[in-house]
Structure 1
Amino acid sequence: MMKLSVYTFMLIGVLALAGCSDTDEISEVNNDNGSDQTSTDVSPEEARPKPPELHIQVGEESLIPILGTYSWSVENEDSTFDGIEVDSVAPPELVSTMDPLQVTADTTITFNFEEEPDRYTVRIWDEDTNVLSESDMVDLSGEGEIICEVLAHWPQGNASYAFSLDIE
Structure 2
Amino acid sequence: MYKWITLTILFLIINITGCSSNDGMKGDKPPKVMIQIGKQTYETKLGTYCWNTKNKGRCVDTAGPVELLKDKKPIEVRPGVDVTFVMNYNPKPNEIHVTQKNNNTDVEVVLEKNRFTAPTNKGIYYYYYGVWWMDKKKEQVSNGDAFYAFALEVK
Q: Deviations over 1:117-161 (max 9, x none)?
A: 112111011364x52334323542322110011001113211000
Matches within 5 A, 1:21-32: none
Q: Which of the residues 9, 31, 49 maps onto 1:70?
A: 49
Number of aligned residue pairs: 115
Shift of 1:101: 1.2
Aligned-partner SS, 1:153? strand
Residue 129 of structure 2 aligns with an amino acid whose one-letter code is V
Q: Deviations over 1:84-118 (max 9, x none)?
A: 00000011101111111111123221111122211
Q: Residues 138 and 120 from structure 1, CA distance in 2 versus in 1: closer, same or farther, beyond 3 angstroms? A: farther
Match of 1:108 in 2: 82
Residue 86 of structure 2 aligns with an amino acid whose one-letter code is N
TM-score, structure 1 as length reference = 0.62
How far apart in 2 are the matches of 1:105 and 1:124? 15
1:120 aligns to 2:96 (yes or no): yes
TM-score, structure 2 as length reference = 0.66
Gaps of 5+ in 2: 1-26, 135-142
User: Who wins on radius of gyration, i.e. which is larger?
Assistant: 1
Gaps of 5+ in 1: 1-47
Higher relative contact order (CA 8 A, sep 6+): 2
1:166 aligns to 2:143 (yes or no): no
Runs of 4+ in 1 over 6 A off after TM superposition: none
Residue 132 of structure 1 aligns with an amino acid whose one-letter code is V
After superposition, the CA RMSD in angstroms is 1.9
